[in-house]
Structure formats: C-alpha cells, structure tokens
Amino acid sequence: MNYHQQEMLDIFQGPTEFLVYTIHNVASYIMRPIIQYAYSKQINITQRNMKDLLAAAEYLSVSGIVQLCKQFLEKQHCEEDCCETTELPATHFWPDVPPWERSLMYKLGVFPPSAYE
C-alpha cells in the first residue's frame, strides 16, 4: 500500500469529526429542509411547517424559499377571503407585498409583532 492509499484509508477509518454550527432563532427541524433546498432546490412546504419555514427563510435571506412560501399561501387562500384588513402597513420585511397578502400574513401571524408597534 502506498502513502496516498494509506492516507485515504486513514481519512475514511479515522474518527468522524464535524463542526456543529448554532443558528439562533431557527429550529433544527426547519433547518434541515432549508439545507436540503440549498442542494436540490426542492422543498416540501405544508400547513404545519409553512409559518416557521417562512420566518426562518426570511431571517436567513433565502429568497427562493420565501417566494415558495408566498406561492403556497396564495394557493391556500383566495384573495376574496383575505381583504378584511387591507390597510396594514408595509413592513421592512416585505414592503412590496400587496395589501391582501399582508392581510393574510397578519391573520396567520407571520409578521413579528414588532413590525406593527
């Protein structure tokens, strides 16, 4: 066995070392699909994970997931059901969001309370 083969064998048989990164404000069950999205550009958005996924994607500036969450919201709710509160202010999070969509997000509790204080 030559030197390079031995080095490769040592690498694969050696102790598994990895770094652990702590990302505050993002739960591990939400971070997993975000990382998978980074590699595959595919993500499973559900009613159950949408709110946390959207908040984490906004926090981490993952615009692709933010857009997919917005599309998910549009599919789940029609515009007519969400126009009761059309005068909600634009926030620094999504100033380009139309009023009906801000209304929906407000109803779902997607915006942090500080955005309305």
| pLDDT digits 0-9 by tens, 11-70 | 555 556 677 788 888 998 999 999 999 999 999 999 899 889 999 999 999 999 999 988
Given a contact cutoff of 8 angstroms between Cβ atoms, the answer to whether 37 and 64 are in contact is yes
Q: What is the pLDDT of residue 77?
A: 66
Which amino acid, one-letter code, is at 117?
Answer: E
* Domains by residue range for the chain, with CATH: 20-76 (3.30.710.10), 78-109 (no CATH)
- Predicted structure pTM score: 0.56
What count of Cα atoms within 13 Å lies in the side-chain half-sphere of residue 25? 8
